[in-house]
Chain A
Amino acid sequence: MFKKLFIANRGEVAVRVARTARAMGIRVVGAVSSADRGASWTAALDELVGVGSGPPRESYLQQERLVQAAVQTGCTALHPGWGFLAENARFAALVEAHGVAFVGPAPRAMDLMGLKTPAKRAARAAGLATIPGSDGPLRDEAEALRVARDIGFPVMVKADAGGGGRGMRLVHREADFAAAWHAASSEALAAFGDGACYLEKYVERGRHIEVQVLGDRHGRAVHLWERECSVQRKHQKLVEESCAPCLSDAERERVGALAANLARSIGYAGAGTVEFLRAADGAIYFMEMNTRLQVEHPVTEERLGLDLVRLQLEVAANRPLPASLSAVKPTGHAIEARVNAEDPARGFAPSPGVLARFDIPLGLGPGRVRLDTHVAAGDEVPPYYDSLLAKVVAVGATRAEAIETLARCLSGARIEGLATTIPVHLAVLGSAEFRAGDYDTGSIPGWKE
């Protein structure tokens, strides 16, 4: 096993990875921007290397600095976390070229799954259904319009190189198509350096189902069951849960098997997530595959009693997946709330500042609560990075118990100095739709903007 691990990430991500690594007896080295220097969370790391000034472009995205930092501190592996460079194939190749093991899939897998069109082709080859759409990116507006007519409106115009909810436009009517097409292409060009867009039929009121997969470097891959993440605002997830209330056990098994199939067919190594969209008629379509560990992975960990970061490290050290893994059965129900420093009363505007108070009660029951955070009272939240403050994961014997646990915990939370999204989470948890498990990506259950 690696003796020293470099974490090319910050905040909550660094704290999460460091926790597992240290538990495994691995020394951890972290990257810090000058804005993060002195932050309380840096105590989670054994050594720190300054990598630049605050803005991510000057620090956490500086590929050569990160690799050099790993090399000069004697690290033999590098964990990219999620976000930043986690899905950057060139970065992964650079890391490996300098003798440091990249804790993630091979660069080739990132290339394949990083562009929507090859990813969809690979999915279809593995037996997954994909949303009706253009077979590949389109660059010609006239052709795109023809394809759109074939698919039938409403359609989504999506950037081929996009992801994470960015670079998309919904077009309801043909009359709006040209403008949307141009806007999407130029946005894509500016944001991702590639103006190619593809079209997909818009699935209204779909439900976001994703499956955690894990592969090793010896050709094996398994699924570790699903999560539902349909509570979203502008394609950013707010609440995630497992198991997905809308799936029958048969559907659950099927979608899991499909995801594992895909991972196996592309020789995927490491942790990944296969994302699906379930239409109102029950059809389940492949959307994309994220070639990294995801924010909401604790939901899976809590139901299965597994440490996914540990498994990632073992895969990276060329260990085969333990045979017992596929037999692990999930128990109970887990729900995660992403508590962001955003003000729901002011259109979710980011709310930077100093955390005067940060108390989240973990023992209110009835179930148990896991808190993944990097902040404490007295911390100043810098403006440069995403606004996630904490992930509060409630685990109950039943879904109702989990909802109750999370609601009690968040109601009892006292966070002062910044606005947070807790009111939204409470509204969601209290809503009839969410409690009935009857909600979708079309709107936030219990919350009207």
Chain B
Amino acid sequence: MAHVKVVPIGSPREMALDATARLKNRAALLEKEARLAERRAKVQAGWGPTYVDRVHQKGKLTARERIELLRDEGSDLFEVGTFANWGRAFGKLESPAAGVVTVFARIHARWCVVIANDNTVASGSWWPRTPEKIERAQEMARRLRLPVVYLVDCSGLYLPEQSQSFPGATGAGHIFKMNALLSFEGVPQIAGVFGDCIAGGGYMPIISDRVYMTEGAYMVIAGAALIKGAKSQELSSLDIGGPEVHVHASGCADARAPDDETALALIRADVARLPSSGADYHRGGVDAAPPFHEAQDIDGLFPSDHRHTWSVEEVLARLVDRSLFKEFLPARGREIVCGVARVGGLWTGFIANRQGVVEDAEARDGAKPAGILYREGIAKTAAFSRACEADGIPIVWLQDIAGFDIGLEAERLGLLGYGSSLIYANSTNKVPMYSVLLRKASGAGYYAMAGLPYDPIVQLATPLTRLSVMEGRTLAIATYRTKLDANFEIATDDPEERAKLEQAMQDTEARIEGDMDPYKAASQLDIDEIVRLSELRPWLVALVEMAYQSIGHRTVKNPRIWSLHDLDALVEPR
């Protein structure tokens, strides 16, 4: 059947979960979200008001102020890498957001990736991980073919830490390689040069298609400080590499602008000349619509105790348009939900871990814990992933997974093989994939569900995320297994030894609990952004729209001829 047979899913909030549980969940979540808001505000303040004033005194705007002027009025920004270098100290200094702001912004109704050096943090210089953060944003743009806008205000490497940012394969030099690759692949790049751009900062804009310089900006391979005779000739860096030189003599920049505001207006005008978004074409006459079940209610659906379950249907109902969803192969591999729905009017694939308990595919009337992968679930996921790849349906992976099934039966069934088949499919997919670590993202499950090593374009986490190779208790069991009985209970009658063992196991658990903190992973750029649960819907609407913006670079089949329909046809009862 060529129609995509979406059906209503979800129930009104009172029926989704009772009020007491909802309120309790919400209260616990709000606490965590308050902390998230606090930390975001701290990062967004850069090095603080003193440095903001300094920028203003020079007649310039801060990076975030520039972004405000760049984006369409009333549109939302979606920032990634906010917590890069969170909790990392360089001597007495910190580098909030690794000194660079990377956001998805709407400019003339087109999604763009904006990369803006934070001139309130060490004059926008590059710290360890700054290059990786910039490259990650460039890679997002490359995969989605989104125009990149560079707001360059960068004095080069933060020299005391140069050994960690200069030489490596993903060090600063790789940024320019990414510039080259973006250009090679036809992705528009526009640069505004706003300040002291030295060395790396000088190289950053050049490969861009259009370069605008403000009157106070300069680009130099080396600043006046290192040029022999500059001091005696009273030559400043501005004389050596300002607009007079580069707009006119060298041609390394295209136009000069009297101030930040004008430069930003010129950049906007350039974006307006780019092709408009193809998203509306792909909507096929169906308007974007909010979920029928109030999206905000997602706040109350997630217990903070990770042993308590939540309903995957109720969550999906609050993420998709009109809460209409089409599930594929619902009777098989019930530990996974695979399906499609419109998000902002555009077809999106969802792969989500069901929670709670599901029927055992191997034993009559048996039950097994969900949140784990078994043979049918893995096979279903692989088949669905392949079909979405063939059909050009962007995939959103919603993770809350403990891992694969284990034991003799699991090995005999060949879960290693099925899992590898799934990994192969995900590894060779070109269709845009986004992963969301809702709660647990554990071990091989995290890999199977297209975690970061499998190159999703963006990986989001929530304040409830727990990311690690295994759960704390599992690790404690593995570490102390010689002291435990067949049921994983401590096997000793000596109360002192028992107490010691309990303590040791608790310490092991506590340590890995610390590792699971999403802020730690975000600091290392292993998570692109931590978002509130209620921000998931707007994020998905934006990410999906980005996936359909650029026409001609990827497969987008019309739904009539989706391979997904074949899966349905083969399992329809008769």
Q: Which residues of A contact B (CB under 8 A)?
A: 63-64, 89-90, 93-94, 96-99, 106-108, 111, 193
Contact = CB atoms under 8 A, between A and B. Distances in A.
Nearest to A91: B8
A97 B324 contact: yes
A106 B287 contact: yes
B418 interface: no
A386 B12 CA distance: 26
Contacts of A94: 6-8, 322, 324
Given A63-B8, A89-B322, A94-B324, A111 B3 contact: no
B5 interface: yes
Contacts of A93: 286, 289, 322, 324
Contacts of B7: 64, 94
Interface string B6-42: 1110001000000000000000000000000000000
25 contacts: A64-B7, A64-B8, A89-B322, A90-B8, A90-B322, A90-B323, A90-B324, A93-B286, A93-B289, A93-B322, A93-B324, A94-B7, A94-B8, A94-B322, A94-B324, A96-B286, A98-B5, A99-B3, A106-B287, A107-B287, A107-B322, A108-B287, A108-B289, A111-B289, A193-B12
A305 to B, nearest CB: 34
The dominant DSSP class at the B interface is loop
A188 B374 CA distance: 46
B259 to A, nearest CB: 36
A237 to B, nearest CB: 30
A64 B4 CA distance: 14
A13 B292 CA distance: 28
A97 B289 contact: no
Contacts, number: 36
A64 B6 CA distance: 10
Nearest to B292: A90
Nearest to A217: B285
Interface in B317-364: 322-324
Given A90-B322, A106-B287, A107-B287, A97 B8 contact: no
Nearest to A193: B12
Nearest to B285: A106
A85 B322 CA distance: 15
A78 to B, nearest CB: 14
Interface of B: 3-8, 12, 286-287, 289, 292, 322-324
A107 B289 contact: yes
A97 B322 CA distance: 12
A97 B292 contact: no
B12 A97 contact: no
B7 to A, nearest CB: 6
Contact of A97 (B5, B287, B323): B5
Given A94-B7, A97-B4, 13 more contacts: A90-B322, A93-B286, A93-B324, A96-B286, A97-B3, A97-B324, A98-B5, A99-B3, A106-B287, A107-B322, A108-B289, A111-B289, A193-B12
Nearest to B345: A108
Contacts of A106: 287
A93 B4 CA distance: 12
B3 A98 contact: yes
A89 B289 contact: yes
B313 to A, nearest CB: 15
Contacts of A193: 12
Nearest to B12: A193
Contacts of A89: 289, 322
B544 to A, nearest CB: 18
Contacts of A98: 3, 5
Nearest to B2: A99
A10 B12 CA distance: 27
Nearest to A96: B286
Contacts of B6: 94, 97
Nearest to B288: A108
Contacts of A90: 8, 292, 322-324
A96 B292 CA distance: 16
B32 to A, nearest CB: 25
A93 B286 CA distance: 9
Contacts of B292: 90
B295 to A, nearest CB: 14
Nearest to B14: A193
Contacts of B323: 90
A107 B3 CA distance: 18
